[in-house]
A and B are shown apart, each in its own frame.
Chain A
Amino acid sequence: EADIYQTPRYLVIGTGKKITLECSQTMGHDKMYWYQQDPGMELHLIHYSYGVNSTEKGDLSSESTVSRIRTEHFPLTLESARPSHTSQYLCASSDRDRVLGNSPLHFGNGTRLTVT
């Protein structure tokens, strides 16, 4: 089972601040993802990576950026936080499966961001 960690668990920050949400996994998974989810709403993919130095934007447009310098680390950065960024951010990883294309996603426990 994947071990995937997100920090911080909760973050309350003022408008205009730069923030970085951390995500690390210890299973050597190639693929990593960032999802955004508002309470009671569906998941939206905002970024994904299929390996080191590979990053792509997801289905939902986001002002955030990501980097993948190491396999285990996939941080998400907001250069200037705004109240509209208030949401839960979920990081996930999966292994590459030659037959299925993707093994199941394993999620971190999320970062709940509030921008005041």
Chain B
Amino acid sequence: RKEVEQDPGPFNVPEGATVAFNCTYSNSASQSFFWYRQDCRKEPKLLMSVYSSGNEDGRFTAQLNRASQYISLLIRDSKLSDSATYLCVVNLLYSSASKIIFGSGTRLSIRP
């Protein structure tokens, strides 16, 4: 089982729709969490960090559920420009080291 799992999609939704992705992680040593966005043939870019209390940035809302070990990303009023692959990233923190793990990504396609 992968340490970080995402539904690969693709999610194909109409413009203006609300779409949500989940990401599950298996290691309880996971300390911090991020969502990245990657456009085709481009580098990943940080979309938002995910805080324990949940956080919002414009149309984007991120949630963390430590008990069930998953994080989520909600996109409201989706735009054509939201079409991309969304990567879930988990940072494991051990006593003397840390490790960053990327999910394999969820592809989102917004249609007009």
* Interface of A toward B, CB cutoff 8 Å: 33, 39, 42-43, 45, 88, 90, 94, 100-102, 104-110, 112
- Chain B: residues with CB nearer than 8 A to chain A? 31-32, 34, 41-46, 49, 87, 89, 91-93, 97-98, 100, 102-105
Are B93 and A42 in touch, CB under 8 angstroms? no
Nearest CB in chain B: distance from A33 CB, A: 8
Given B87, B98, B103, B104, which contacts A102 in the complex, CB threshold below 8 Å?
B98
Contact of B34 among A33, A39, A101, A104 (CB under 8 A): A104
Q: What total count of A-B pairs have CB within 8 Å?
A: 48
> When A42-B102, A42-B105, A105-B100 are in contact, do A100 and B43 touch as well, CB less than 8 Å?
no
Q: What are 27 A-B residue pairs whose CB atoms fall within 8 Å in the complex? A: A42-B102, A42-B103, A42-B104, A42-B105, A43-B44, A43-B87, A45-B100, A88-B41, A94-B100, A100-B31, A100-B32, A101-B32, A101-B98, A102-B32, A102-B91, A102-B100, A104-B34, A104-B46, A104-B89, A105-B89, A105-B100, A107-B43, A107-B44, A109-B42, A109-B43, A110-B43, A112-B41
Describe A's contact surface by its main secondary structure: loop
Please give, as numbers and ranges, the residues of chain B lying within 8 Å of A106 by CB-CB distance: 46
Closest Cβ of chain B to A3, distance in Å, is 13
Q: Shortest CB–CB separation between residue A36 and chain B, in angstroms? A: 12
B107 to chain A, nearest CB (A): 9
